[in-house]
Amino acid sequence: MISTDFALAKKLLEDEQVIGLPTETVYGLAGNIFSEKAISTIYKIKQRPSFNPLIVHIKDISALEKVAIQIPAKAYQLAHVFWPGPLTLLLPKHPSISNQITAGKNTVAVRIPNHPVALALLASLDFPLAAPSANPFTRISPTTAEQVEAYFQNEIPLVLQGGTCKNGVESTIIGFNEDRVILYRYGAIPIEAIEAEVGEVDIYIQNEKNPEAPGMLMKHYSPLTSVIVTDNISAEIQKQANKKIGLIVFQHASSAIELKYQQVLSEKGDLQEAASHLYQALHHLDTLQLDLIIAEKFPDEGLGKTINDRLRRAAEK
């Protein structure tokens, strides 16, 4: 059920149930972090592997010390600049945080969402919320309440309506090793913006079998339709000439494919606009019974890095 019933959402969470929650990045499956029942439900209905940790959402910076310890100065520096917002910090976990949330790791991923509905709900509750993206494991993240409803139908009692997500891609995940700042996941805040605040950022070398942070598995954010990413759209179309093809392009449509099978993410060449439209484009093309989606590789700068990261994971076999 999609609803704007804030009081019902609050009651369901207090009763250890799970709801669909709007944020500025994507919709999440939200539950009380201190409820084993709620967290187990999230993992079950997402079909999420138990080794893949969840992100904890808190209401304000003062709540950070209730979920994390040994917080570096650079973490606070970034939090004061980017919170509320699409920045997740990976920090040593507070003893009160269960291993179920952190997938047995000694770190917890935490952020403050920048969405009025999510913030109001968090402010009304006595506990933070775990809220991974509201999609089945490996599928495209949802940016509308309707997409959450289509995924889960009767598996959750409520999807709280919050409109279309502004950023449209997940949060940037940042961790720390002594004085070094580490990027664990590209997201809605470009790495260049992080480096402008704290200097050079190291890129984490991924461990597929034991991810340190959420959203890091190689196959992720994927439509059911196969995806190919290329820096030469025309050549790839010619190679796939016998197939029914859909296109995702940055700025300019191709004359080789009918326009109804193309998704132009930003006609004005704006990477932020393109990122906000990415998942909507994938969702739409995935409904057209195509043989293949061909996606143009984006400029390797700013949010182009985030878009390329998501497309690469969507194309993973």
Question: pLDDT in tens for each of the 317 residues of the chain?
Answer: 999 999 999 999 999 999 999 999 999 999 999 999 999 999 999 998 888 899 999 999 999 999 999 999 999 999 999 999 999 999 999 999 999 999 999 999 999 999 999 999 999 999 999 999 999 988 999 999 999 999 998 899 999 999 999 999 999 999 999 889 999 999 999 999 999 999 999 988 665 556 666 665 566 778 999 999 999 988 888 888 889 999 999 998 888 888 889 999 999 999 999 999 999 999 999 999 999 999 999 999 999 999 999 999 888 87
Q: Please count the structural domains in the chain.
A: 2
Tell whether 153 and 298 lie within a shared domain.
no
Q: Do residues 14 and 113 both lie within one domain?
A: yes
Regarding whether 240 and 304 lie in a shared domain, the answer is yes
Residues 17 and 165 reside in one and the same domain: yes
Residues 199, 232 within the same domain: no
Q: For residue 56, what is the enclosing H or E element?
A: strand 55-57
CA distance 156 to 19: 6
Q: Are residues 192 and 58 in the same domain?
A: yes
Q: Among the three residues 144, 170, 203, which one is the final residue of a domain in this structure?
A: 203
Q: Find the domain containing 264 and state its range.
A: 227-315
Q: What is the pTM of this model?
A: 0.92
Euclidean distance between CA atoms 92 and 78, whole angstroms: 16
Residues 169 and 37 both lie in one domain: yes
Both 197 and 70 in a single domain?
yes
Residues 136 and 246 in one domain: no
Q: For residues 162 and 134, is the Cβ–Cβ distance under 8 A? A: no
313: which residues sit within 8 A by CB, 6+ positions away?
Answer: 217, 218, 219, 220, 221, 222
| DSSP state letter for 93 | B
Which domain-ending residue is among 160, 187, 203? 203
